[in-house]
Amino acid sequence: MVRQRDGYHSLTRWLHAALALGVIFQLVCAGLMVHPEHEAASDAAGDIHDEGVLDESEYSLRQKDDSGEAWMRAHRSGGVVVAIIVLTNLLWAVVARGNPKKRQITVLFSIRYWQQARTIARQFPLMLAGRQPLPEPGNALSLVTEMLGLLTMTAMAVSGYMIWNLWAGPDYTVSEIAEFWVDIHAGFAILLLLYLVGHVSMAMVYASKGDPVFTRIIPWRRRYKADEI
């Protein structure tokens, strides 16, 4: 059974909740939004050089209302909010949680943490099979993975910014450089989705072993006396 630990710092819990809700909102928007600019590009330029862009353009033409464009605007605005939350998380990880025993971005630059994370990853199949105990919460693998997740979100924010500043080319056509950043953005989105699935799955595994992980991270619960993570 996993040893129970005290809860996280209240700011950590609220930042975690805000980030989770923000990322989920962005993923929902990404699944519902369309790119009306593609329709304008096909009419004005008379040519679309990318099959993926053509498919999206045809999808845009089938829209009978402005819902797709509204979701696009929501995705853009939500991206700004999520970027601010991610930046706050990074600052909190670097400045306010400077204790080496706490989660911080410096674990990515520690050979010791990477070695420990690799060891845990190798033993993980045995842990899931119940042949070895699960590592304590806050272990090296979880710390490294968390920081990589934050950096992935940062990369999504940067690529999203580039897309919105490079999208329209001459005569309102879709520029190739914008399409490049769209591919980068989509790639990081897949990584982020995998991270979320893995993150939630591991939380459920720990909960099944008796660790009150969800109780410790819920932001609106009463703070434990020893909260400090």
Instruction: Give pLDDT tens digits for 148-205.
Output: 988 898 899 888 888 877 765 444 455 678 788 888 988 998 998 899 898 888 888 8
Q: For the chain, what percent of residues have pLDDT higher than 90?
A: 12
Q: At residue 109, does pLDDT exceed 50?
A: yes
187 or 52, higher pLDDT? 187
Instruction: Count Cβ atoms within 10 A of the Cβ of residue 130 and give its class: 0-12 exposed, 13-18 middle, 19 or more buried.
Output: exposed
Q: At residue 138, does pLDDT exceed 90?
A: no
- CA separation for the pair 113, 116 (Å, rounded): 5
Q: For the chain, what percent of residues have pLDDT higher than 70?
A: 70
Read off the pLDDT of each residue in 7-31 and give the average, rounded to a whole number: 85
Q: At residue 114, does pLDDT exceed 90?
A: yes
User: Which residue, 92, 141, 136, is CA-closest to 113?
Assistant: 141
pLDDT at 64: 41
Architecture of domain 11-217: Up-down Bundle (1.20)
* H/E stretch holding 123: helix 111-128
Instruction: Report yes or no: 135 and 118 within 8 Å, Cβ to Cβ.
Output: no
- pTM value is 0.71
Read off the pLDDT of each residue in 98-112 and give the average, rounded to a whole number: 70
Q: At residue 49, does pLDDT exceed 50?
A: no
Domain ranges of the chain: 11-217
User: Which residue, 17, 14, 150, is CA-closest to 91?
Assistant: 150
Read off the pLDDT of each residue in 90-102 and give the average, rounded to a whole number: 64
Q: At residue 210, does pLDDT exceed 60?
A: yes
